[in-house]
Structure 1
């Protein structure tokens, strides 16, 4: 577990990383061979830390290079993808998943989280499926 402070809100959040991800991070860490334990890991060839904006540009370049058939591909879309994955993996208890995601995303209501994940739009579109002629 580790605690981070969100820049936007100033709130602290504790994050737990499962064993599989810990191993993946360990492998990547050994591969990049950082200067020290507190050294940034995402640094340019010039030795400067990548900004969020630069990482977003790099993600767009990856999308173009590999012809990925996705809409937006940014740091923020990765956050949304995480939320959608958590929701989809908890179909049997989707309301509880939404409450947890609401808290993780710091949303004020479940309805905002549903809209954020695109679930509300899906629900509305599914309304048309019940029509029969």
Structure 2
């Protein structure tokens, strides 16, 4: 688990995707657009996949299941099987990406190394003025986790299941719930006893 890495905010995520798609200047050098890494970051932020698992995906990894699609993957880090529904918008996005790049169903969607993704994202985060010791390849996955947590009434167990963590404590550390935040939340729920 990357404990030092923090989640991107929605605004930072949108800016990073925009920079990846348009290219930018960094230290007087042109950094070319990179739709492939943009697509990797989109999948991490929308499906909560680790980078290594994202890079192994193929179009045939997405299985039609009635009127929806699902992924059945064996996680690289944990060796655990993970099965989950893929929102149709995400499936359509990745299908359009594969078609536009001429990627066959059984070919890797992202023929790139984790290190290449990390180096390119470091350039994006540098351009955005974000400290590289805090932002990295896990920041989009942590955005996913944080959004699920907040948008589902702070259901930490749901986030734990989606991330396949072994304990809620691990998930709390992962999304950065600090003891003060817990205490503040509890203090805010005290009813008037008088």
| 1:116 and 2:184 matched | no
Unaligned runs of 5+ in 2: 1-69, 189-194
Q: Helix, strand or coil: the match of 1:108?
A: coil
Q: Is the Cα–Cα contact under 8 Å of residues 56 and 73 in structure 1 kept in the other structure?
A: no
Cα–Cα, structure 1 residues 77 and 6, in superposed 2: closer, same or farther, change >3 Å?
same
Q: Helix, strand or coil: the match of 1:75?
A: coil
Divergent runs of 4+, >6 A: none
Q: Is the Cα–Cα contact under 8 Å of residues 149 and 158 in structure 2 kept in the other structure?
A: no
Which has the bigger relative contact order, CA under 8 A and spacing at least 6? 2
Q: Compute the RMSD of aligned alpha carbons.
A: 2.5
Aligned to 1:99: 157
Specify which of 133, 139, 156 is matched with residue 77 of structure 1: 139
Q: Is the Cα–Cα contact under 8 Å of residues 115 and 121 in structure 1 kept in the other structure?
A: no
Following superposition, the deviation at residue 85 of structure 1 comes to 0.8
Aligned to 1:63: 125
Write the deviation string for residues 74-103 of structure 1: whole angstroms up to 9, x where unpaired.
322221111001111123xx2xx3102112
Aligned to 2:16: none
Cα–Cα, structure 1 residues 98 and 125, in superposed 2: closer, same or farther, change >3 Å?
closer
Following superposition, the deviation at residue 3 of structure 1 comes to 0.7
Following superposition, the deviation at residue 126 of structure 1 comes to 4.1
For residues 109 and 17 of structure 1, the distance between their equivalents in structure 2, rounded to whole angstroms, comes to: 24
Unaligned runs of 5+ in 1: 43-48
For residues 52 and 6 of structure 1, the distance between their equivalents in structure 2, rounded to whole angstroms, comes to: 15
For residues 55 and 116 of structure 1, the distance between their equivalents in structure 2, rounded to whole angstroms, comes to: 21
Cα–Cα, structure 1 residues 84 and 26, in superposed 2: closer, same or farther, change >3 Å?
same
Bigger share in strand = 2
Scaled by the length of structure 2, the TM-score of the pair is 0.52
Scaled by the length of structure 1, the TM-score of the pair is 0.72
